[in-house]
A and B are shown apart, each in its own frame.
Chain A
Amino acid sequence: MKDSRFKFVSHSRRVQEDRRFVTGRGNFVASIEMDGLLHVALVASKHPSARIRSIDVSAALAVSGVHHVVTGTELSAAVEPMMNGLDTPKVRRYSLAVGQTRYCGEWVAAVAAESRAIAEDAAELVEVTYDPLPYVIDVEAALQSDSPLVHPDHGTNVLLDRTFVWGEVERHFAGSPRTLSFRVSWGRNSTVPVETFGVVARFDPWRELLDVWASIQMPKYAEQIARALRLPANSVRVHYDVDVGGSYGVKRGIKHTVLAAYLARRLGRPVRLIEDRLDNMQSGDAHGPERIFDVSVAFDDRGIVKSMKMRALDNVGAYAGRAPFQLGKPVGAIVGPYRIESVQYQVLSVMTNKAAQEAVRGFGQSPTNFAIETAIDRVAVALGLDRIEIRRRNFIRREQFPYLIPSGTRYDSGDYHAVVDKVLERVDWSGLETERDRLRASGLLAGIGVAACLEPGGGNSSFEPLLNPKNTTTTWMDSCRINVDGLGCITATIHTTSSGQGHETLTATVIGEVLEIDPDRIRIIRPDSLASLPSNSPVGSRMAIMLGGAAFHAAQRLKRKLIAIAAHQLQRPADGVTYSGGSVSDVQTGRLLTWSDLVTIAHRTIHLMPEGLEPGLEATYVMQVPTGRDLPTADGRVQMYPCHSFEFHVVLAAIDPQLGRTELRRYVIGHDCGTVINPHIVKGMTLGGIAHGIGAALFEEFIYDGQGEMTSQTFMDYPLPSSHEIPEVEIVHHCTPSPFTVFGQKGSGESGYLGAPAAVASAINDAVRPLGIAFTKLPIRLTAISDAVAGASGTGRQHTDDH
Chain B
Amino acid sequence: MNVELRINGSRLHVAVEPRTTLADCLRDHLHLSGVQTGCEHGVCGACTVLIDGEPARSCLMFAAQADGYEITTIEALAPAPGELSVIQDAFCELHAMACGFCTPGMVLVAHALLNRNRNPSRADIVEAISGNVCRCTGYGQIIEAIELAAKRLCESNVVAGELSE
Binding site for B on A (CB under 8 A): 14-15, 17-26, 28, 30-31, 33, 117, 191-196, 243-248, 276-277, 499-502, 680-681, 683-685, 687-692, 714-716, 720, 722-724, 726, 728-729, 752
B55 on interface, CB distance cutoff 8 Å? no
A776 vs B37: C-alpha distance when bound (angstroms): 36
* Chain A residues positioned under 8 Å from B133 (CB to CB): 194, 715, 720, 722
Q: How far is the CB of A725 from chain B (nearest CB, A)?
A: 9
Known: A22-B103, A193-B99. 10 other contacts (CB 8 A): A22-B104, A23-B75, A26-B101, A193-B135, A195-B99, A246-B99, A246-B135, A500-B99, A714-B43, A723-B129
CB of B138 within 8 A of CB of A726, answer yes
CB of B84 within 8 A of CB of A22, answer yes
CB of A195 within 8 A of CB of B141, answer no
A478 vs B137: C-alpha distance when bound (angstroms): 26
Given contacts A194-B46, A194-B101, A715-B41, contact A14 B139 (CB under 8 A): no
**Which of B39, B74, B104, B138: most chain A Cβ within 10 A?**
B138
Interface string of B1-45 (1 = CB under 8 A from A): 000000000000000010100000001000111111111110110
Please name 25 pairs of A and B residues whose Cβ atoms are closer than 8 Å in the assembled complex, sorted by A.
A14-B92, A15-B95, A17-B100, A21-B99, A22-B100, A24-B33, A31-B27, A194-B133, A195-B101, A245-B101, A246-B99, A502-B98, A680-B94, A684-B95, A684-B98, A687-B140, A688-B135, A691-B137, A692-B138, A714-B39, A715-B41, A715-B44, A716-B41, A723-B139, A726-B138
CB of B33 within 8 A of CB of A31, answer yes
Number of A-B contacts (CB under 8 A): 183
* Chain A residues positioned under 8 Å from B127 (CB to CB): 723-724
Given contacts A23-B77, A245-B36, A276-B40, contact A18 B140 (CB under 8 A): no
A24 vs B100: C-alpha distance when bound (angstroms): 8
A270 vs B91: C-alpha distance when bound (angstroms): 36
Q: How far is the CB of B121 from chain A (nearest CB, A)?
A: 13
Which B93-114 residues have C-beta < 8 A from chain A?
93-95, 97-104, 107
CB of B126 within 8 A of CB of A724, answer yes
B130 on interface, CB distance cutoff 8 Å? yes
A28 vs B19: C-alpha distance when bound (angstroms): 25
* Chain A residues positioned under 8 Å from B63 (CB to CB): none
A252 vs B26: C-alpha distance when bound (angstroms): 29
A731 vs B124: C-alpha distance when bound (angstroms): 23
Q: How far is the CB of B1 from chain A (nearest CB, A)?
A: 15
A689 vs B142: C-alpha distance when bound (angstroms): 15
CB of A723 within 8 A of CB of B143, answer yes
A684 vs B134: C-alpha distance when bound (angstroms): 11
* Chain B residues positioned under 8 Å from A245 (CB to CB): 36, 38, 99-101
Given contacts A24-B34, A195-B36, A715-B39, contact A18 B97 (CB under 8 A): yes
Indicate which residue in A25, A681, A684, A728 contacts B34 across the interface (CB closer than 8 Å). A25
Interface size class of B (residues with CB under 8 A): 35 or more
Q: How far is the CB of A141 from chain B (nearest CB, A)?
A: 33
In terms of DSSP, what is the predominant structure of the interface of chain A? loop
CB of B107 within 8 A of CB of A22, answer yes
A191 vs B98: C-alpha distance when bound (angstroms): 14
Q: How far is the CB of B93 from chain A (nearest CB, A)?
A: 6
A277 vs B42: C-alpha distance when bound (angstroms): 11
Q: How far is the CB of B108 from chain A (nearest CB, A)?
A: 9
In terms of DSSP, what is the predominant structure of the interface of chain B? loop
B53 on interface, CB distance cutoff 8 Å? no
B158 on interface, CB distance cutoff 8 Å? no
CB of A30 within 8 A of CB of B75, answer no
A15 vs B99: C-alpha distance when bound (angstroms): 12
Binding site for A on B (CB under 8 A): 17, 19, 27, 31-41, 43-44, 46, 73-75, 77-78, 84, 88, 91-95, 97-104, 107, 122, 126-127, 129-131, 133-143
Q: How far is the CB of A731 from chain B (nearest CB, A)?
A: 9
Residue of B nearest to A276 (CB): B40
A683 vs B141: C-alpha distance when bound (angstroms): 8
A688 vs B107: C-alpha distance when bound (angstroms): 18
**Which of B100, B104, B133: most chain A Cβ within 10 A?**
B100
CB of A22 within 8 A of CB of B91, answer yes
* Chain A residues positioned under 8 Å from B44 (CB to CB): 194, 715, 720
Residue of A nearest to B133 (CB): A720
CB of A714 within 8 A of CB of B41, answer yes
CB of B97 within 8 A of CB of A722, answer no
CB of A728 within 8 A of CB of B140, answer yes
Residue of A nearest to B98 (CB): A500
* Chain A residues positioned under 8 Å from B77 (CB to CB): 23
A195 vs B44: C-alpha distance when bound (angstroms): 10
CB of B41 within 8 A of CB of A18, answer no
CB of B95 within 8 A of CB of A33, answer no
CB of B95 within 8 A of CB of A28, answer no
Q: How far is the CB of B128 from chain A (nearest CB, A)?
A: 9
Residue of A nearest to B74 (CB): A24
Q: How far is the CB of B78 from chain A (nearest CB, A)?
A: 5
Given contacts A24-B33, A687-B141, A714-B39, contact A194 B126 (CB under 8 A): no
* Chain A residues positioned under 8 Å from B102 (CB to CB): 194
Across the A-B interface, the 8 shortest Cβ-Cβ residue pairs: A24-B34, A21-B100, A245-B101, A500-B99, A500-B98, A691-B138, A24-B74, A680-B95
